[in-house]
Amino acid sequence: MAKTTGNILLAADDEFLLLSIKLLLEPHFTTVKTENNPERITALFDREHFDVVVLDMNFRHGDTTGNQGRFWLKKILNHSPDTQVILITAFADIQVAVDSIKEGALDFIVKPWQNEKLLSTVKAANLISQEKRKVRQLKSQQKTLVSALDKNYEPLIGISTSIAAIRKTIEKIAPTDAEVLITGQNGTGKEVIAREIHKHSNRADGIFMTLDVGALSESLFESELFGHKKGAFTDAKEERVGRFEAAAGGTLLLDEIGNLSLPLQAKLLTVLQHKKIVRLGTNDPVDVDVRIICATNANLQAMVKEGKFREDLLYRINTVEIHIPPLSERPEDIPQLLLHFLKKYAQKYQKAYLSVPDPVLTALQKYRWPGNIRELQHAVERAVIMCEGEVLQLEDFGSIQKQMSADFTFDYLNLEKLEAWAIRKAIAKHNGNISHAAEELGLSRGALYRRMETYGI
Ligand SMILES: Nc1ncnc2c1ncn2[C@@H]1O[C@H](COP(=O)(O)OP(=O)(O)OP(=O)(O)O)[C@@H](O)[C@H]1O
């Protein structure tokens, strides 16, 4: 007969009791130890973990109050809360038994015991103890994972009035479980804001999970969100929980919600309405305990009008709506964001004391940033890598400089600036060939050189 994994301690001063229970349990468990001196119990626990302790309530010979057993019961549970304690007494004192169970003992056995009953009680206690330990381990694993995931956390940076208003809204809505819809162009910080809501909510100790629902095929949608039982479909080789269950107690960000097909929108609406999911291959509804935040770069109101997005789903998900304007509409946020990314990448690439001169900063504030903050972040990383010396130049930011020239919108009608721009553009167009550039500009080579000197080109 295979032995069950379990470390069992028998604690009593009655040698006959110790021996007979040891003989009964040994064929069934990997380790069975005995201790006849209660003073040594805590020292034993310092050395190893016991799953179950079978403890004599009347340790000291002649003590019939059960107080000795209750004393050691408390000590054991203080030391090792997962350990299950079974008490043994010769006296069927129901009150003592009830009190001990209230104080944390699992069960109570009266002498003379029935072997079958004692064995099944120890087996059950061993199982409970190991399950409790597993749950404790999983909880601590979850804590570690949550804090590891939190390393991706970027603080919400910005001083613009729109970011200040968003911060205020976050303060108000974070402690509630209200559904939030975050809208804004790609790279504006929708995920950053969703994380900020989670971090300030009562769910902050739970997990924050993101799912790009727009990228899910019809066939994957249900198994990814609701999970499946083993064998629920051909590829379901093993049981798997879906995101709704995996994020239980936390927050789930459903990104790119505007890309969800109409049939999948209907499925999502059903879950949000009933707050229950059913794993594929089962019939058991499971309660959903997760805060849903949706994000999109699409105009869902317009999509409703076009019949591409369900109106009832929109009203389900947008109890509160947060719109993040594109970066070009809040250039006052750029200096702070720039400094933040500069610090981050200077540390990453071990380049201390980097600085950005004012003209470069002004140029960066004028740029349109079609990729928003993500583009700014990548541009700063590139500049940190490419810069020679400690002062960043516009060229270090890569293609931005070229695009800025292409984007030149003549929004400043200063003749000198226009002339300098035309000269730079002509030289770039002719790959640095001054004769050809001068010809295009209608100038002699000498006149072009003089102007280049004036403008520091
Ligand atoms: N206000 C902000 N403060 C600091 N970092 C930000 C801010 N907004 C965005 N970022 C950074 O910019 C990058 C893009 O942000 P995020 O992924 O949140 O944008 P998004 O709108 O969700 O993008 P997409 O629509 O492409 O999913 C991230 O690296 C993020 O850390």
Report the alpha-carbon distance of residue 21 to residue 76 in Å, rounded: 20
Map out the domains of the chain as residue ranges. Answer: 4-138, 153-323, 329-455
Domain 329-455, what architecture? Answer: Orthogonal Bundle (1.10)
Whether the CB of 378 sits within 6 Å of ligand 1: no
Calculate the CA dihedral of residues 365, 370, 376, 381 and round it to 10 degrees. -130
The secondary structure of residue 36, as a DSSP letter, is S
Domain 153-323: assigned CATH number: 3.40.50.300
Tell me the per-residue pLDDT of 351-360, one tens digit each, with 9 for 90 and over: 888 889 888 8
Residue 163 CA to ligand 1 center (angstroms) comes to 13
Q: Do the Cβ atoms of 217 and 348 come closer than 8 Å?
A: no
List Cα–Cα distances, 53 to 9, 26, 27, 114, 182, in angstroms.
5, 14, 17, 18, 55
Q: 210 CB less than 6 Å from ligand 1?
A: no
Q: Which of 395, 363, 372 is nearest to 382 (CA)?
A: 395
Return averaged pLDDT per consecutive 10 residues of the chain, 457 residues in all.
91 92 96 92 89 87 68 91 90 74 91 92 96 86 73 85 97 94 96 95 91 85 85 75 89 94 93 89 85 95 96 96 95 95 93 87 88 94 92 84 56 73 81 84 88 82
**94-110, pLDDT tens digit by residue?**
677 778 899 999 998 98
How would you write 113-144 as a 3-class SS string? CCHHHHHHHHHHHHHHHHHHHHHHHHHHHHHH
- 158 CB under 6 A from ligand 1? yes
Q: Comparing 4-138 with 153-323, is the CATH topology the same? A: yes
Per-residue pLDDT, 13: 87
pLDDT of 402 reads 63
Q: Of all residues in the chain, what percent carry a pLDDT higher than 70?
A: 93
286 lines ligand 1 (CB under 6 A): no
Enter the ipTM. 0.98
Our answer on whether the CB atom of 190 is closer than 6 Å to any ligand 1 atom is: yes
pLDDT of residue 96: 78
CATH superfamily assigned to domain 4-138: Response regulator (3.40.50.2300)
Check residue 240 and give left, alpha or beta (phi > 0: left; psi -120 to 50: alpha): beta
* Model pTM above 0.80: no
